[in-house]
A = this chain, B = another copy of it.
Amino acid sequence: MTAIKESSTRNENKEMSINACPVSYVMNKIGGHWKPIILYQLMSGPKRYNELRRAIPTITEKMLIQHLKQLQADDLVTRTAEPVVPPFVTYALSSVGESLTPVMEAIANWGFAQTGR
């Protein structure tokens, strides 16, 4: 999973920031290119893997699972796989993920206010 060189200045700074700035901490969980988009999709309800793919046409499969895994590791989304063939895997917001909803909405609303609609 794209191994991390554990002692670049870059990562040290990241660690520091996460501890020093509460906003920075949150950005590491919901920031980046794809995570907010995935979370935004899941806010409208649980979705299957391929539903997410189709909902976000420009995302690659690699990025989708990579971030879904990260979001699971951060306890923001849950994965439920029904043991059938063909596979039936559903992703949903965890309770922690749900608690993000008002925050995400606050962010989105500011965006709407800025862009006019």
Could you tell me which A residues sit within 8 Å of B by CB distance?
12-14, 16-17, 20-27, 31-33, 36-37, 39-40, 58, 96, 99-100, 102-104, 106-108, 110-115
Q: Give the secondary structure class of A's interface.
A: helix
Identify 5 residue pairs between A and B in the complex whose beta-carbon atoms are under 8 Å apart, listed by A's number.
A21-B40, A22-B108, A26-B114, A96-B114, A106-B106
In the complex the two chains form, what is the Cα distance from A13 to B33 in whole Å?
9
CB distance from A104 to the nearest CB of B (A): 6
Identity of the chain B residue whose Cβ is nearest the Cβ of A41 in the assembled complex: B21
Contacts of A104 in B (CB 8 A): 23
Q: Contact check, A26 vs B103: say whether CB atoms are below 8 A apart.
A: no
Q: Contact check, B20 vs A33: say whether CB atoms are below 8 A apart.
A: no
In the complex the two chains form, what is the Cα distance from A108 to B23 in whole Å?
5
In the complex the two chains form, what is the Cα distance from A115 to B18 in whole Å?
11
Contacts of A12 in B (CB 8 A): 58
Q: Contact check, A108 vs B26: say whether CB atoms are below 8 A apart.
A: yes
